[in-house]
Structures are given as structure tokens and as C-alpha cells.
Amino acid sequence: MIPIARPYVTQEDAQAAYDTILSGWITQGPKVEAFEEKFAAYTGAKYAVAVSCCTAALHLSLIVAGIGPGDEVICPSMSYIATANAIRYVGALPVFAEVDAASFNLSLMDVQKRITARTKAILLVHQLGMPADIDSFQALCAKHGLVLIEDAACAAGSAYKGKKIGSHSQLVCFSFHPRKVLSTGDGGMITTSQEEYYLRLKRLRQHGMSVSDRVRHQASHLVFEDHTELGYNYRLTDIQAAIGIGQLEKLDWMIAERRKIASCYQEAFQEIACLQLPREEAGYYSNYQSYALSLGADCPLSRNDIMQQLLDKGIASRRGVMTAHRETAYGDYYPDLHLPISEKASDQSLILPLFVGMSNEEIGQVIEAIKQILSGPL
């Protein structure tokens, strides 16, 4: 069986976790601080704040951006549901916009049409690791006085116009879930270059506490903490951070390996007319968190038939990115919303296996299977 993904965690990563467990610091402490410094340096952002997951990163980003009840935040429906959920956590309304039919990233034109007097922010997703056009959205936000928050859950190590994702905007949120490229089991990070955001994010992730455990631990005079506002327990642990540091050191290499596999797929599938392949325009650099194929109208088989036939051949695949507005938790709120491009993109796409350590034989098996399946019924 060829799995859809497999986290690349090494003996060294396991050893780092083991050493940390025995170090006396197992929750947020010096390893988290070191991971944050290295992540900030890697992305080119001034600061990074580690949290328990990307959903927590999005939640805290919306809070520091001042988003609350009565506000509207524009985001794609075609994204993992956490994107929209985070907006609801702060009592704001997710306003779903269409994606572009070629890149599956947010459509600037469609977003423009949905801006109202209540719009406060745009939550821009880098779909499956492929950067969105950040410059255009920054310009749009500047024009309308909106905050731009990037959902870069899938985009650690991706780059836009020569700079790593994380360095362009003031609130950029990353995920370290095992389905992403860099994994700590679970985990997340927010990058920013604004000191005010940085300091407040650090308090909010730890119950709103004014002094961190580490500062109290190292103090030679008594230090008493205050809880300055309603906070959360969104801490990353030092055990996870120890894994993250080793993962970050390997990130560029892991991405290079992923891109080799993606280019094998690109080369093999370009001759199949009914398939729409991922497109990486000049200035865009994807970490290929996932490789999705989209089926054209002339495809001889349904998406689900293709997925079943792949499974019959021992190859896992996944549906394309979901749409939030058609999920039960959202359907009642958006009974009349139709987003034809997003719905079609979601229904007519599938994700193929792609992971570091995938053998040439496995890559070949996937390619042969797709070719066979799509030529079979003719």
C-alpha cells in the first residue's frame, strides 16, 4: 500500500525529543524559544511565536488584529475547515469568496465584490503550499483599511517573489500537523515583525500571563505574574519544539525532495489532456505540501471511480480540498450560497501520494496507475 503521506521524522528528531523529556523542561521553555528564533530567522520575519496548532495561531491572530463580533472576514470556503472556524471563534462572520480556477487560491476580483462596511480582514490561504498573490491582496487591504492575515498552514518553506512565506505580512500562521511538510506531531507558529503583536501573542498563548515560566525560573528576585487579559492555553511543548528544530534544519532538503516527485508527476501527466496540473507561475515557489490533479469535463471517469481504482491498486488518494460552506456545521448559515468554481474544484480533484522517502518504484507505480485508469475505459 502506498500511503498518501508519511511524516519524515528521523532518529535524530526522536533523540532530541528523548533528551528533552529527561531535561526537566517538558512543556514550553528554552526549546520553544530556540525553535521560535530559528523559525523567525528561516522565514525572514523579525519574530515568531510558537503555539499548539495552526488553528490556535489563526485564533490569536484574529484577536490581536482586533476582529470581533459584528465583523466580517473574507476567506476561501475551499480550505481546511479550521480557516473558517477560527473566524467564528472570535464571533466574526466568515464571508466566503471564490477561488481562481487555475491556482485554486483566492480570487482577487471575487474578494473585491464581497467587501462591505463591516469587512475587517482578509484571511488569505496558500492552497496546498502554493503561494497566493500576496502583493495584490496587500494592496487591496491597504486601499480598504483591512488587515491581511495569511493562513500559511501548508506553506512552511514556500516562497513568493524571492522571499519565504512568513516575511511578507504582519500575521502569518503555520501548521506542524503530520500532513504538512514540517511536523512536530501537532504544533503551530505565527510570524510577525510587529513588536506589539509579538508581545501580546506570547501572553495570549499562556493564559494572558505577564511573565513566562522561564523568566520566573531564572529570576534571582521574586517575580509575581499578573494575568492582563483573557488568555488561552495554546502552548507548544519543549518536546515538540525539539523535534521542530531538527525538522526545520531539514526543511529545505525535504522540499527539494518533494519537488523532485512533483516534477516527475508533472512530466508524466502533461500529456493526459483531461487533467489540469498544478501550475507554478514565475515568482512562485511551492513546497508541494500536496499534489492535486483536477479533472476536466472530458475525463472518462468520475473522480471517485478514479480514487477507488487507485485504492484497488494499493494506492491511497484523497479528495481535493473541501469547501466549508457545504459542511453541516456551516450549511445552515449559508443556505443560498453557491460558489461554483470552488465546488467544482473541490469535487473534481484528487490528491496523490507525495512524501519524502517515496521510492522511484512507488512514484512509477502511481504514474502507471493513473495512466492505465484514464486510458482503460476508452
Residue 143 designated active-site:
no
Contact 44, 69 (CB under 8 A): no
- Residue 153 as a binder of ligand PLP (CB under 6 A): the answer is yes
> Of 344, 325, 303, 351, which is closest to residue 129 (Cα–Cα)?
351
Contacts of ligand PLP in 269-298 (CB under 6 A): none
Measure the CA–CA gap between 320 and 344, rounded to whole angstroms.
10
What minimum distance in Å lies between the beta carbon of 342 and ligand PLP?
Answer: 14
d(C-alpha 21, C-alpha 15), whole Å: 10
Cell numbers 516562497: residue: 159
Dist CA 44 CA 193 (whole Å): 9
Q: How far is the CB of 351 from ligand PLP (least distance, A)?
A: 12
Active-site residue, from 31, 180, 202, 250? 180
> Whats the size of the chain, residue-wise?
378
**Of 20, 107, 167, 175, the one binding ligand PLP by CB under 6 A:** 175
317 binds ligand PLP (CB under 6 A): no
The binder of ligand PLP chosen from 28, 83, 105, 237 (CB under 6 A): 83
- List 59, 120, 168, 177, residue binding ligand PLP (CB under 6 A): 177
CB 259 within 8 A of CB 288: yes
For residue 97, state whether it binds ligand PLP (rule: CB under 6 A): no
Nearest to ligand PLP of 186, 362 (CB atom): 186
- C-beta closer to ligand PLP: residue 188 or 246: 188
Closest approach of ligand PLP to the CB of residue 23, in Å: 25
Does the protein bind ligand PLP through residue 79 (CB under 6 A)? yes
CB 364 within 8 Å of CB 311: no
One residue of 55, 105, 158, 342 binding ligand PLP per CB under 6 A: 55
Q: Which residues contact 134 (CB under 8 A, 6 or more apart)?
A: 124, 148, 150, 160, 161, 168, 169
> Listing from the earlier edge strand, what are the strands of the sheet with 275-276?
275-276, 291-295, 349-352, 318-319
Q: Give the residue with the Cβ less far from ligand PLP, 244 or 374.
A: 244
Half-sphere exposure of 136 (CA within 13 A, CB side): 12
Which stretch, 80-88, 96-104, 228-236, 365-373, contacts ligand PLP (CB under 6 A)?
80-88
* Residues 184-203 interacting with ligand PLP (rule: CB under 6 A): 188
* Contact region with ligand PLP (CB under 6 A), list: 76-84, 208-216, 221-229, 237-245: 76-84
Q: Is 234 in the site for ligand PLP (CB under 6 A)?
A: no
Q: Side chain identity at 318, as an amino acid letter?
A: R
- Asked if 154 interacts with ligand PLP (CB under 6 A), we say yes
Q: How far is the CB of 216 from ligand PLP (least distance, A)?
A: 28
User: Which residues have a Cβ under 8 Å from the Cβ of 245 and sit 6 or more positions away?
Assistant: 16, 31, 34, 35, 38
Composition of the chain by helix, strand, coil, percent to 5: 40, 15, 40
Residues found near ligand PLP in the complex (CB under 6 A): 53-55, 79-80, 82-83, 125, 151, 153-154, 175, 177, 188
Q: Any idea which residues carry the catalytic annotation?
A: 180
